[in-house]
């Protein structure tokens, strides 16, 4: 039974939108329909809370309401962001745009968007508001990949940026990623500072009328500069030239990679590139997939079908904003197998280490980065080869932070996370699918040059460093009741500490909210991390690792499982996987995950 008081509160909030002169007729019509409907669930979901501007920006279902993505919520977020930028970069009171003195560059931002419905509308809304506040805007002429937006911020010397995207979420979603002058998504102190400014903004404060003189359209020249920079991720062009006929199938999944990825691949030297025509069509409704998420096998079906027809060596894809990638290769039976995010990250790190050593490119100051929920196999690789590996929180802004704090002192050579994201060079400060796809094709070329497939290479990694099976469980809890339930789950785990998982003793538990670790004997120690995060992590005697993390952008709680085993030969892989799957079920029962 829905709370009567909550319904009344939501009706009152909805009525203020109807009574205001700010909102357009289409918005008011949608709200009026919700108010008239006897079923108040849609009304409550749209108005029960204000759509919060979080540390990464905004992401949510599109529609009218305070808890929805629409041009008014985007407008208030942008006005707050503009207010913060003007405070963070104070300028003289006389002369030039924004009061800058003669000859000084005005404060500027970069604005981009992907293929999603309302993407252009939201991006132009953002550009208009920044320009109305005296801030110069570099607005991409049309959809562009997330990593190119990050690159452009750095290339143009902008102070900040916005990319309108909901990444891999279903078609009903859109989002707003906020970037700082280093090209990375904002972190402390700017994240909380922006949030404070956004929370002060009322709809009447938003300057929607833009200044066209302060909006500059960018496109082709930036594409060229970005593609030139991507080539810095290349390790061995000779192997590409020897295997330039590698048979590659690519899908843009209706998004921003459709032009740039094939061009980047050709610039690297690959000549046998095919595309999935149905998925090269820009469409925010994603008609060929249930969800445009590289983590979902279903999204790769058309690519594999074309790959079979063309006898391709591998199938690669990017998500709508081209920050994540997916890889499909042939197994030892010649059948298509999807390489998961952890395996993808393992392959990148293995190849970067091995071939930089072989070519004399590896330096003592080089370092890799992974997130805390990404496979520990990479830790073994780094230890064996005396490479510095840093662990950071989930989210590429934390990998970007590691690059930034070592800039000019140490060289970043790669970093990634389990959710199909990798960055193989340092000119971009977000995950970069175009660059990563080029590098995975180089890795496939190197493997073929050595009589292997990508699958053979994966087996070689397991034989060298031990088998590891990773599995992520997403428990979706929508709406207010779901948010309350997720909060209660995390409180329960902290109130009743877990001492064993599926029969194996917990020998180390980490709480990144308190920044404390507890060993199996109850001894506490401090965690050396730059901030707190609502994550719990457990390490067991048998090598099992379990991480628990509520999503910061979606109504779900995630469980990341890592299960260890030995693998004496490549033919043992299937049996190791089966044993690991049984262990997953035991872990789910032990932790009451459903």
Domain with residue 324: its CATH number is 3.40.120.10
Residues 214 and 257 in one domain: no
Confidence grade of residue 55 (pLDDT, cut at 50, 70, 90): confident
In Å, the largest CA–CA distance within the chain is 73
Residues 500 and 531 in one domain: yes
Instruction: For residue 441, tell me if it sits in a domain.
Output: yes
The pLDDT of residue 561 is 97
The pLDDT of residue 95 is 44
The pLDDT of residue 359 is 96
Active site residues: 167
Mean pLDDT score of the chain, rounded to an integer?
Answer: 94
Q: Which residues does residue 355 pair with via DSSP β-bridges, in sequence order?
A: none
Confidence grade of residue 104 (pLDDT, cut at 50, 70, 90): low
Confidence grade of residue 392 (pLDDT, cut at 50, 70, 90): very high
Contact of 246 with 270, CB cutoff 8 Å: yes
The pLDDT of residue 48 is 93
Query: Rounded to two decimals, what is the model's pTM?
Result: 0.93
Least confident span in 29-43, 101-115, 233-247: 101-115
Residues 396 and 307 in one domain: yes
The pLDDT of residue 94 is 46
**Packing angle, helices 71-88 and 190-200, rounded to 10:** 120
Of 465, 490, 517, the residue that ends a domain is 465
The pLDDT of residue 2 is 73
The pLDDT of residue 93 is 47
Q: Are strands 545-550 and 536-540 parallel, antiparallel or unpaired?
A: antiparallel
Domain with residue 495: its CATH number is 3.30.310
The pLDDT of residue 96 is 45
The pLDDT of residue 445 is 98
- Distances from the Cα of 231 to the Cα of 103, 263, 267, 269, 511, angstroms: 34, 11, 8, 10, 40
Residues 138 and 200 in one domain: yes
Residues 124 and 208 in one domain: yes
Residues 523 and 444 in one domain: no
Show Cβ contacts of residue 319 under 8 Å, excluding neighbours closer than 6 positions: 167, 168, 253, 255, 292, 293, 294, 325, 326, 420, 433
pLDDT at 101 over 50: no
pLDDT at 1 over 70: no
Least confident span in 253-262, 354-363, 423-432, 482-491: 482-491
Residues 190 and 241 in one domain: no
**Token reading at 525:** 């120690």
Q: Are strands 173-180 and 57-61 parallel, antiparallel or unpaired?
A: antiparallel
Contact of 96 with 104, CB cutoff 8 Å: yes
Instruction: For residue 54, tell me if it sits in a domain.
Output: no
Mean pLDDT of 560-579: 94
Q: Which residues does residue 562 pair with via DSSP β-bridges, in sequence order?
A: 470, 545
Instruction: For residue 180, tell me if it sits in a domain.
Output: yes
Handedness of CA 287, 291, 294, 295 (dihedral sign): negative
Mean pLDDT of 384-407: 96
Mean pLDDT of 322-340: 96
Distance of CA 118 to the CA centre of its chain: 20
> Which stretch of DSSP H or E encloses residue 488?
helix 479-495
Of 418, 447, 465, the residue that ends a domain is 465
**Token reading at 317:** 């894809």
Contact of 565 with 479, CB cutoff 8 Å: no
Confidence grade of residue 327 (pLDDT, cut at 50, 70, 90): very high
Show Cβ contacts of residue 371 under 8 Å, excluding neighbours closer than 6 positions: 391, 392, 393, 394, 395, 398, 399, 416, 417, 418
Residues 425 and 307 in one domain: yes
DSSP state of 468: E
Residues 154 and 29 in one domain: no
Confidence grade of residue 98 (pLDDT, cut at 50, 70, 90): low
pLDDT at 503 over 80: yes
Q: Which residue has the higher pLDDT, 151 or 555?
A: 151
Q: Which residues does residue 336 pair with via DSSP β-bridges, in sequence order?
A: 330
Question: What is the rounded distance in angstroms from the CA atom of residue 34 to the CA atom of residue 43?
Answer: 5
Listing DSSP states for 49-99 in one string gives S----BTTEEEEEBSSSTTSB-HHHHHHHHHHHHHHHHHHS---SSSSGGG
Tally the residues of the chain: 594
Half-sphere exposure of 250 (CA within 13 A, CB side): 33
Residues 329 and 459 in one domain: yes
Mean pLDDT of 327-335: 95
Of 218, 238, 265, the residue that ends a domain is 218
| Residue 114 domain boundaries | 68-94+103-218
Residues 430 and 515 in one domain: no
Instruction: For residue 62, tell me if it sits in a domain.
Output: no
Number of domains in the chain: 4
pLDDT at 102 over 50: no
Residues 290 and 433 in one domain: yes
Instruction: For residue 60, tell me if it sits in a domain.
Output: no
Preceding omega of 189 cis (within 30 degrees of 0) = yes
Q: Which residues does residue 517 pair with via DSSP β-bridges, in sequence order?
A: 510, 525
Instruction: For residue 78, tell me if it sits in a domain.
Output: yes
Least confident span in 42-56, 150-164, 278-292: 42-56
Instruction: For residue 59, tell me if it sits in a domain.
Output: no
Highest mean pLDDT, choosing among 81-95, 544-558, 567-581: 567-581
pLDDT at 552 over 80: no
Instruction: For residue 137, tell me if it sits in a domain.
Output: yes
Listing DSSP states for 428-466 in one string gives -SS--HHHHHHHHHHHHHHHHHTT--HHHHHHHHHHHH-
Confidence grade of residue 520 (pLDDT, cut at 50, 70, 90): confident
């Amino acid at each position: 039974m829905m709370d009567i008081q909550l319904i009344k509160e939501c009706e009152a909030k909805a009525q203020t939108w109807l009574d205001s002169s700010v909102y357009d007729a289409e918005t008011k019509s949608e709200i009026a329909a919700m108010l008239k409907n006897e079923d108040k669930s849609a009304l409550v979901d749209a108005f029960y809370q204000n759509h919060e501007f979080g540390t990464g920006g905004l992401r949510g279902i599109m529609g009218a309401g305070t808890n929805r993505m629409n041009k008014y919520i985007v407008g208030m977020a942008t006005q707050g962001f503009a207010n913060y930028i003007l405070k963070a970069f104070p300028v003289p009171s006389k002369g030039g745009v924004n009061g800058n003195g003669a000859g000084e560059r005005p404060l500027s931002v970069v604005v981009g968007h992907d293929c999603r419905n309302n993407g252009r509308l939201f991006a132009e809304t953002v550009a208009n508001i920044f320009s109305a506040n005296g801030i110069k805007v570099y607005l991409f002429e049309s959809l562009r990949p997330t990593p190119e937006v990050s690159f452009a911020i750095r290339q143009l010397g902008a102070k900040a940026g916005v990319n309108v995207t909901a990444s891999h979420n279903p078609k009903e979603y859109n989002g707003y990623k906020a970037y700082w002058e280093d090209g990375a998504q904002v972190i402390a102190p700017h994240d909380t500072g922006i949030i404070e400014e956004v929370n002060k903004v009322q709809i009447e404060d938003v300057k929607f009328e833009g200044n066209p003189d302060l909006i500059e359209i960018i496109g082709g020249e930036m594409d060229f500069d970005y593609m030139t920079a991507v080539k810095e991720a290349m390790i061995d062009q000779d192997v590409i030239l020897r295997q330039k006929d590698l048979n590659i199938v690519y899908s843009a999944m209706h998004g921003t990679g459709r032009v740039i990825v094939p061009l980047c691949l050709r610039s690297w030297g690959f000549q046998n590139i095919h595309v999935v025509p149905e998925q090269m069509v820009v469409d925010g409704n994603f008609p060929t997939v249930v969800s445009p998420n590289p983590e979902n096998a279903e999204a790769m079906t058309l690519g594999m079908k074309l790959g079979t027809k063309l006898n391709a060596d591998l199938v690669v894809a990017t998500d709508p904003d081209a920050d994540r990638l997916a890889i499909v290769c042939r197994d030892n039976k010649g059948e298509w197998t999807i390489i998961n995010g952890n395996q993808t990250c393992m392959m990148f790190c293995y190849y970067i280490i091995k071939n930089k050593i072989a070519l004399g490119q590896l330096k003592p100051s080089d370092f890799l980065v992974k997130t805390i929920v990404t496979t520990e196999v990479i830790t073994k690789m780094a230890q064996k080869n005396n490479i510095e590996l840093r662990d950071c929180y989930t989210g590429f802004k934390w990998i970007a932070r590691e690059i930034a704090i070592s800039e000019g002192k140490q060289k970043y050579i790669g970093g990634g996370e389990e959710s199909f994201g990798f960055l193989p060079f340092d000119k971009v400060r977000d995950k970069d699918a175009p660059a990563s796809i080029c590098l995975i094709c180089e890795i496939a070329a190197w493997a073929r040059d050595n009589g292997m497939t990508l699958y053979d290479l994966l087996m070689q990694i397991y034989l060298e460093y031990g088998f590891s099976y990773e599995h992520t469980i997403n428990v979706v809890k929508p709406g207010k009741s779901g948010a309350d339930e997720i909060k209660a789950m995390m409180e329960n785990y902290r109130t009743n500490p877990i001492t064993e998982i599926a029969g194996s003793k917990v020998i180390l538990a980490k709480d990144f909210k308190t920044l404390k670790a507890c060993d199996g004997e109850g001894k506490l120690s401090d965690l050396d991390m730059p901030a707190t995060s609502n994550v719990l992590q457990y390490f067991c005697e048998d090598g099992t690792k379990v991480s628990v993390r509520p999503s910061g952008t979606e109504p779900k709680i995630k469980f990341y499982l890592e299960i260890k085993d030995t693998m004496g030969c490549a033919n043992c892989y299937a049996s190791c996987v089966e044993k690991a799957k049984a262990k997953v079920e035991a872990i789910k029962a032990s932790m009451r995950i459903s």
